[in-house]
Amino acid sequence: MPDQAVATGGADGPDGARSAPSAGPAAVRVEGLWKRFGDQVAVAGIDLELPAGQFIGLVGPNGAGKTTTLSMVTGLLRPDMGRVLVAGHDVWSDPVEVKSRIGVLPEGLRLFERLSGRELLGYMGRLRGLPGEETDKRATQLLDVLDLAGSQHKLVVDYSTGMRKKIGLAAALLHNPEVLFLDEPFEGVDPVSAQTIRGVLERYTSSGATVVFSSHVMELVESLCDWVAVMAAGRIRAAGPLADVRGGAPSLQAAFLELVGAGGRDAGDSLDWLGGQAAR
Amino acid sequence: MSAASASAPAAGRASAAAPPAAAAVNLTSVFLRLKLSLIRNGLKGSSKRKAAYFTSLALSLAVACLAMVGLAVLHGNAHAGTVVVLLAAILALGWTFMPLFFPSGDETLDPSRLVMLPLRPRPLVRALLASSLVGIGPLFTVCLAVGSVVAVARGAAGIVAAVVAAPLLVLGCVTLARSVATANVRLLTSRKGRDLALLSGLLIAIGAQVANFASQRLFESGGLARLEPAEAVVRWLPPATAVGMVDSASKGSYGTAAGQLAVTVLALVLLLRFWERSLTALMVTPDGSTIAAAKPSGKRESEGGAGAWAFLPAGRTGAVMQRALRYVVRDPKTKSAWVTALAVGAIVPVFNALQGTGSMYLACFGAGMLGMQMYNQFGQDTSAFWMVAQTISTPREAFEELRARAYALALVTVPYTVVLTAVTAALLEDWAALPAGLGVGLALLGSMLCTGALASARFPYSIPTDGAFKNVAPGQGGLAWAGIFGGMLVSALICSPVIALTVFLNVTDQQSLTWIVLPLGAAWGTFAAWAGLRLAAPTVARTLPEILLAVSKG
């Protein structure tokens, strides 16, 4: 894919990343992160070092702990144990340094939906401490680029899923963060909006910023990411440059199924009655 | 809903060749059975729901029987005709507006679910009408209708008229409700309709207050005779005409009775026709929501902070105030809470003053009601609180956030309290008490802001966005009550010095000095609010994830 070539070309390439992961400072460093909900362990001791300036995919099946991990990394959920550093600053002891450096698009949390798209951006920008004029200028540009200019005065509550993701992305980008965390940014998004989001994110990473996003769509991750971490049952199964994680497997999908131990499962003969040519 | 667009060909096919199966099955009995099984299935599993259903059934039956007996006892009373005619009108009015504010979730009555089925309009209307006669509401109405006609029926003609009138009244009410609901189904299934339904709590709260005062006034001032002019008009308005007919027939005015019967029947037929037509239109035209979505919107204010908003301070303070005030207008739950507070806060002092039982200090009620809105500030944000949490990293920022919310509240409450106190003073013709009343009101508001900020920080709970009467997520009720009741007690405690001073000045007959309560109360309130915000801010900044967790439930 041509855009993948551009994206990886912009970073230091898979080989460089593999030989020296600590060439640049890590954008995010996670140490011994744990989270338990009642009896269920959602995240069971994660150590990760995410390189700066890359497009990073966090992949895993449903319930793997991706959302919990991202929530803890972005300061929205308090971990039971462990430490998270963003650009060298501790998320929990030094929120002033961290919160201005990150942008977040969580999954499953609402927005201020009784504001219009434009009002939401104006509100977020001012909360972030941007001057009013600058906020409005950036909002106009983001709304244009994300194809939301036509519905900027509609209330967010009346937006479609794709439009919500896009306005959420705009709100996360407004203060020009160093690291962007996106939880399932392409979930439920139509191909046109997905391409728009993709274009914005590629432009953003090519300037040296870091994007961390979670997904369970392997083709998407494979075509977008330079670096992936595979999660299952609250643990990291593999992490590194895309080519390394894929290894000898024909695709990331195959490698992923292998890693999470779901390879070789087949419908088999149990549904032999199903199909157009069946006798009855 | 997308099914609606596919329904046109389905309807076309249906009319081209009537399906033999549909003709064989009696649609009315299918719908009746469907309704009964839906009621039965709705009660399955949850013992809580079962208990609630049977309690409300028993309760409404008890009330209905009492009302029926009460009405029957009116038999022979000079005002019986007036009472039952007006009652029938109120009943019809209730049925008309009920579906708009209380969509009962009756699936047999939702035409959009039937859109893919090859049904003809007329049998469908018959079936829907029959199934909507099943339920607690219709049962209640039947009792009232029977009671009403019994109250006025005299003589053979009266009894015959009564036998005709009771079913006509019930049918009229039910048809009214169904046709209004059908005509508005697009609205009711849209976001705007759901918003409207959330305002029903407000209607009840305000309605109860007004009804309370109105009934007091009615019984104080000459009684039912005052209602006769209204009754003279209403007895010609269907479906109250049905009851009017019984009264006329009993009095021997057979011409009038015939006229009223004609009006009743004609109105019912027209209503059924209207229902049938809107039902047909609904089922063969595309869903309005898709049309609306395709239309580009090109209105609203100019970009940036234009208009009156420009007067708000810049930065977080202005942005938060603007958001809070916009939510008062746009968010149905917030709007409902605010309008209830504003209305009840005004009704209590003003109506009491009008009845001569008023007091200057009742005007503080409004300040207290609005002050309650400071409680659970972050729960009002729902899980969108994460957006706020992302921008708070110091106690200072938390303080600014809380302060801006308090400003937004004060921006409305302070002028409101001033006006309300002035109106109360004018009605009581007691201008001397105005400064003290206002002073106590402001002190109370300040203490409510203080405890509200603290409760918001310590006892956040989530407010479900659906259901007009669900204001606390399951399992958080204790938390909510602890916050609100504890807070109100502490508020009373905090402004007790100001209250004590007022009482002291009044008791010791130093009325000429009561003006001092105004500056003192204002200063005390401001200080209390400031201190509360200051104390709450570090907690907010420290427990952002915990608050987010608490307000994201349900």
What tens digit of pLDDT does each residue of A65-92 get? 999 999 999 999 999 999 999 999 999 9
A32: domain range? 1-8+23-101+177-259
pLDDT of residue A180: 96
Residue with tokens 């996360």: A172
> Are A143 and A170 contacting, i.e. CB atoms less than 8 angstroms apart?
yes
User: Are residues A1 and A90 both part of a single domain?
Assistant: yes
Q: Compute φ and ψ for A239, nearest 5 degrees.
A: -155, 145
Which residue did the predictor score with more confidence, B121 or B192? B121
Contact A136 B330 (CB under 8 A): no
Predicted local confidence at residue A267, as pLDDT: 58
pLDDT of residue B156: 87
pLDDT at B394 over 90: yes
- The pLDDT score that the predictor gives to residue B303 is 44
- Write down the H helix ranges in B285-363: 288-294, 315-330, 332-354
Instruction: Note the maximum CA span of chain B.
Output: 91
* Chain A residues near residue B540 by CB distance under 8 angstroms: none
Round to the nearest angstrom and report the end-to-end CA distance of chain A. Answer: 45
Predicted pLDDT of residue A13 = 38
Quick one: pLDDT at residue B297?
46
Higher-pLDDT residue of A123, B225: A123
The reported pLDDT for the residue numbered B131 is: 87
Helix (H, G, I), strand (E, B) or coil at B105: coil
Kindly list the residues from chain B whose CB atom is less than 8 angstroms away from the CB atom of residue A110. 382-384
Q: Evaluate whether residue A182 is within a structural domain.
A: yes
CA B363 to each of CA B348, B368, B426, B440: distance values in angstroms, whole numbers, following the listed order: 8, 9, 12, 9
- Test the A interface: residue of B191, B322, B323, B385 with most A CBs within 10 Å: B323
Give A101→chain B minimum CA distance, Å.
Answer: 11
Interatomic CA distance for residues B27 and B122, integer angstroms: 11
Q: Using DSSP, how many helices (H) and how many strands (E) does chain A show?
A: 11, 10
Domain boundary pick from A153, A175, A197:
A175
Coarse DSSP helix, strand, coil percentages of chain A, rounded to the nearest 5 percent: 40, 25, 35
SS3 at position A249: coil
**Per-residue pLDDT at B526:** 96
Side by side, the strands of the sheet bearing A227-232 are A102-105, A179-183, A210-215, A55-59, A227-232, A235-241
Q: What is the mean pLDDT of each run of 10 residues along chain A (280 residues)?
A: 35 37 72 92 94 93 91 94 94 93 93 94 94 94 93 92 93 95 90 90 92 90 91 92 90 87 66 70
- Taking the C-alpha atoms of residue A196 and residue B296, their distance in angstroms, rounded to an integer, is 20
Cβ count within 10 A of residue B467: 12
Distance from CA of B386 to the nearest CA of A (A): 7
Statement to judge: residues A197 and A81 lie in one domain: yes
Q: What is the 3-state secondary structure (H, E, C) of B428-463?
A: HCCHHHHHHHHHHHHHHHHHHHHHHHHHHHHCCCCC
The residues, ordered by sequence, that sit 6+ positions from B439 with a Cβ below 8 Å of its Cβ are B498, B502, B517, B518, B519, B520, B521, B522
Nearest C-alpha of chain A: how many angstroms from B277? 29
Flag whether A277 is in a domain.
no
Same domain, A70 and A125: no
What's residue B282's pLDDT? 79
Cα of A30 to nearest chain B Cα, Å = 18
Q: Is the pLDDT of residue B514 over 90?
A: no
pLDDT: which is higher, B344 or A20:
B344
Residue B265 DSSP class: H
Which of A110, A114, A140 lies closest to B326 in CB terms? A114
* Better pLDDT: B353 or A89: A89
Residues A135 and A196 occupy one common structural domain? no
Tell if the CB–CB gap between A111 and B387 is shorter than 8 Å.
yes
Across B88-97, average pLDDT = 86
What pairing do the DSSP bridges indicate for beta strands A227-232 and A235-241?
A: antiparallel
Determine, for residues A114 and B314 on separate chains, whether the beta-carbon distance falls below 8 Å: no
- C-beta of residue B442 within 8 angstroms of C-beta of residue B415: no
- Quote the pLDDT of residue B494: 93
Indicate if A222 and A164 belong to the same structural domain.
no
Regarding an ipTM greater than 0.90, the answer is no
- Residue with the larger pLDDT of the pair A239 and B306: A239
**For range B312-332, the mean pLDDT:** 92
Specify the pLDDT at position B116. Answer: 79
DSSP state of A211: E
pLDDT of residue B203: 75
> How much is the average pLDDT of B154-169?
89
Among all residues of chain B, which has the CA nearest to that of A150?
A: B296
For residue A274, being part of any structural domain is answered with: no
How far is B21 from A227, CA to CA, in rounded Å? 62
Cβ contact A112–B381 (<8 Å):
yes
Q: How confident is the model at residue B103 (pLDDT cuts 50, 70, 90)?
A: low
pLDDT surpassing 70 at residue B386: yes
Chain B nearest C-alpha distance from A75 (Å): 7
**Spatial contact of A12 and A23, defined as CB atoms under 8 Å apart:** yes
pLDDT band at B9 (very low <50, low <70, confident <90, very high): very low
The order of strands in the sheet holding A26-37 is A40-51, A26-37, A81-86, A89-90
Interface with chain A: mutation pick from B189, B390, B401, B542, highest number of A CBs within 10 Å: B390
Six token digits for residue A150: 């036509």
pLDDT reported for residue B304: 45
Greatest mean pLDDT among A242-256, B270-284, B437-451 lies in B437-451
Q: Give the C-alpha separation, B25 to B143, whole Å.
A: 32
Instruction: Tell me whether residue A201 is in a domain.
Output: yes
Phi and psi, residue B463, nearest 5°: -105, 115
Q: How far is CA B331 from CA A268, B191, B270, in A?
A: 52, 11, 37
Q: What's at B191, amino acid-wise?
A: R
Are B322 and A123 within 8 A, CB to CB? Answer: yes
Least confident among B170-184, B322-336, B404-418 = B170-184
What pLDDT is recorded for position B333?
84
Residues A117 and A37 in one domain: no
Q: Count the alpha carbons within 13 Å of B33 in the hemisphere toward its beta carbon.
A: 6
Residues on A contacting B at a C-beta cutoff of 8 Å: 74-78, 95-96, 98-100, 104, 106, 108-116, 118-119, 122-124, 126-129, 131-133, 136, 140, 150-151, 153-155, 157-158, 160, 171
8 Å CB contact between B207 and B347: no
From the candidates B311, B386, B463, B552, which should be mutated to test the interface with A, based on the most A CB atoms within 10 A? B386
Do residue A115 and residue A209 come from a single domain? no
Question: Are A55 and A93 contained in the same domain?
Answer: yes
- Measured in angstroms, the CA of A50 and the nearest CA of chain B are apart by 21
A186 shares a domain with A92 = yes
Q: How far is B300 from chain A (nearest CA, A)?
A: 7
β-strand pairing of A81-86 with A55-59: unpaired
Chain A's closest residue to B397, CA to CA, is A127
Identity of the residue in A78, A96, A122 whose CB atom sits nearest the CB atom of B545: A78
A14, exposed or middle or buried, with CB in 10 Å at 0-12, 13-18, 19+? Answer: middle
Between B134 and A278, name the one with better pLDDT.
B134
A99 CB neighbours in chain B (<8 A) are: 390-393
Question: Does A137 share its domain with A248?
Answer: no
Our count of domains for chain A comes to: 2
Note whether A126 contacts B318, CB cutoff 8 Å. yes
Whether A273 maps to a domain, the answer reads: no
Q: What pLDDT is attached to residue B18?
A: 45
Contact A136 B297 (CB under 8 A): no
Residue-level pLDDT at A21: 42
pLDDT score of B49 more than 90: no
What residues of B are in contact with residue A167 (Cβ under 8 Å)?
Answer: none
A108, closest residue in chain B (CA to CA): B383
Nearest residue in chain A measured CA to CA from B296:
A150
- Rounded-to-integer distance, Cα A277 and Cα B1, Å: 34
CB hemisphere CA count around B264 (13 angstroms): 30
pLDDT in tens, B238-256: 888 888 898 888 888 889 8
A168 & A94 share domain: no
Pick the closest to residue B391 from B407, B404, B380 (CA basis): B404
pLDDT at B554: 65
Comparing B360 with B18, the larger pLDDT belongs to B360
Q: Is residue A270 part of a domain?
A: no
Partners of A123 on chain B (C-beta within 8 Å) are 319-320, 322-323
Cis peptide before B239 (omega within 30 of 0): yes
In this structure, is the dihedral angle defined by the CA atoms of residues B191, B192, B194 and B198, taken in order, positive or negative? positive
Asked if B487 contacts B452 with a C-beta cutoff of 8 angstroms, the reply is yes
For residue A198, tell me if it sits in a domain.
Answer: yes
Classify residue A249: in a domain, yes or no: yes
**Nearest CA of chain A to the CA of B532: how many Å?**
22
Asked if residue B404 has pLDDT above 90, the reply is yes
Are residues A161 and A194 both part of a single domain?
no
Cβ contacts (< 8 Å) between A115 and chain B: which residues?
A: 323, 326
CATH number at residue A49: 3.40.50.300
CB–CB contact A153 B326 (8 Å): no
| Higher per-residue confidence, B231 vs A278 | B231
A258-272, B89-103, B332-346: segment of lowest average pLDDT: A258-272
